[in-house]
Structure 1
């Protein structure tokens, strides 16, 4: 007789819940990256080349952090959460079908 494997649906459900909470919590860092790192135009002075380069570098880094770091992590967590939920749902459906037979 072959080995039987089981899937803990409650554990999968918990993973989905925790990933959704992580996504919810990601709003804080995303908000900080987007709205709380503002550098006013005159904060570094006016009328010299370095000021423009620093201001532009700040804006580029702010956008990079928001989109390529926080956004990428958020997207990965969301994708994993959706796939985990889909997996759980498929196992649940299969388990239900087996009990109906």
Structure 2
């Protein structure tokens, strides 16, 4: 069985296939037929990358919206300061 080197650890082809299958289960399918047909590992990895990019964009958009909402609220409000404090804790 061949081995592939990733970082300082070795991973077998079977382990790689298992990891790709786990990714496939986590990432929403681009098409509904994916669950019934065999999909190449490269396609699954591409879909995973695209999905992660999409999630990053959603986070950025939500962050922008939240900033706008917080800026439009009364800055002396206890709720605003509580929200800002909670958000800063989540980024640490």
If each structure's helix is expressed as a fraction of its own residues, which one has the higher value?
Answer: 1
Could you state the TM-score of these two structures normalised by the residue count of structure 1? Answer: 0.39
Q: Which has the greater radius of gyration?
A: 1
- Structure having greater relative contact order (Cα 8 Å, sep ≥ 6): 1
The TM-score, its normalising length taken from structure 2, stands at: 0.42
Higher strand share: 2
